[in-house]
Structure 1
Amino acid sequence: MALPPRVYFTLHEVAARWDGMYIFLIRRVHEHGVPETQAEWVGEVQEWFVKKSESGEVPDERTIRRRLTPIWKALRETC
């Protein structure tokens, strides 16, 4: 059984994907507030990546959680 071809991204492409995700997060918080749970927020970000991915490759949950945790904690402290 052959493995599917691996998709490689340049550093610029990876940075652009995360920049787009941060813009999505800012809009989400501005329009709807902070989600009730971090799990809900991670799920929304996973869905965003799925919708934006042409190749079908998306960051894993652990990677997304690592990026969101500092923001989540800072926003929850102000609630």
Structure 2
Amino acid sequence: EKDMLDEMTLTLSGDTMTITVNDDTIITIDGEDATLDELQVGDTVSFFLDGETVTSLSVGMPEPTQPMQAPEQN
């Protein structure tokens, strides 16, 4: 079974780069599992690279389930 390789072009601060994603790339949109097809032009993404291959890519920020704050001392 051959790995699916997809290239996508991103624009970062005016610079354009092409990244490679494969079947192992974890893609999430607003914290939910997603596919490359669900990405939209103009989405703001963050991603992690291993060499030139993207290991994970996320769009949007998952809404925190509760406000982040330091635990209170009892």
Q: TM-score range by the shorter chain?
A: under 0.3
TM-score scaled by structure 2? 0.24
Kindly indicate which of the two structures has a greater share of residues assigned to helix: 1
TM-score scaled by structure 1? 0.23
Kindly indicate which of the two structures has a greater share of residues assigned to strand: 2
Higher Rg: 2
